[in-house]
Amino acid sequence: MSVRNLLEQPRIWYGGDYNPEQWPEEVWHEDVRLMQQAGVNLVSIGIFAWSYLEPQPGQYDFAWLDRLMDLLYDHGVHVSLGTATASPPPWLAHRHPNSLPVTADGVTLWPGGRQAYCLHSQAYMKAASALVTRLAECYKDHPALAIWHINNEYGCHVSECFCDVSAAAFRKWLFERYGTLDELNRAWGTAFWSQRYGQWEEINPPRRAPTFANPTQQLDWRRFSSDSLIALSDMETEILRGITPDVPVTTNFMGFFKPADYRKWAHRE
CATH number at residue 152: 3.20.20.80
What was the pLDDT predicted at 96?
98
In a domain, 27, yes or no: yes
Would the CA dihedral through 187, 188, 192, 198 be positive or negative? Answer: negative
Determine the residue type at 192: F
**Which pLDDT score is estimated for 1?**
47
Q: Which domain holds residue 150?
A: 3-160+227-265
The answer as to whether 149 is a domain residue is yes
d(CA 45, CA 21): 9
pLDDT tens sequence for the chain (269 residues): 455 556 666 678 999 999 999 999 999 999 999 999 999 999 999 999 999 999 999 999 999 999 999 999 999 999 999 999 999 999 999 999 999 999 999 999 999 989 999 999 999 999 999 999 999 999 999 999 999 999 999 989 999 999 999 999 999 999 999 999 999 999 999 999 999 999 999 999 999 988 889 999 999 999 999 999 999 999 999 999 999 999 999 999 888 888 888 888 888 76
Q: Is residue 175 domain-resident? A: no
Beta bridge partners of 59: 56
Is position 54 within any domain? yes
Task: Confirm whether 222 is domain-assigned.
Answer: no
**pLDDT for 230:** 96
- Note whether residue 215 is domain-resident: no
**Domain-embedded: residue 78:** yes
Question: How far is residue 30's CA from residue 27's CA, in Å, rounded to a whole number?
Answer: 5
Nearest to 228 by CA among 217, 216, 220: 220
Rounded to the nearest 10 degrees, the angle between the axes of helix 215-243 and helix 181-188 is 120
**169 domain-assigned:** no
Q: Report the first-to-last Cα separation within the chain, whole angstroms.
A: 23
Q: Please tell me the total count of domains within the chain.
A: 1
CA atoms within 13 A on the CB side of 23: 9
Go through the chain and tell me how many residues it has.
269
Q: How far apart are CA 174 and CA 184, in angstroms?
A: 8
Tell me the C-alpha distance between 260 and 225, whole Å: 8
- What is the Cβ-side half-sphere exposure of residue 46, based on CA atoms within 13 angstroms? 30
Element housing 31 (H / E): helix 28-38
Cβ-Cβ contacts under 8 Å for 68 (sequence gap 6 or more): 20, 28, 45
CA separation for the pair 238, 6 (Å, rounded): 22
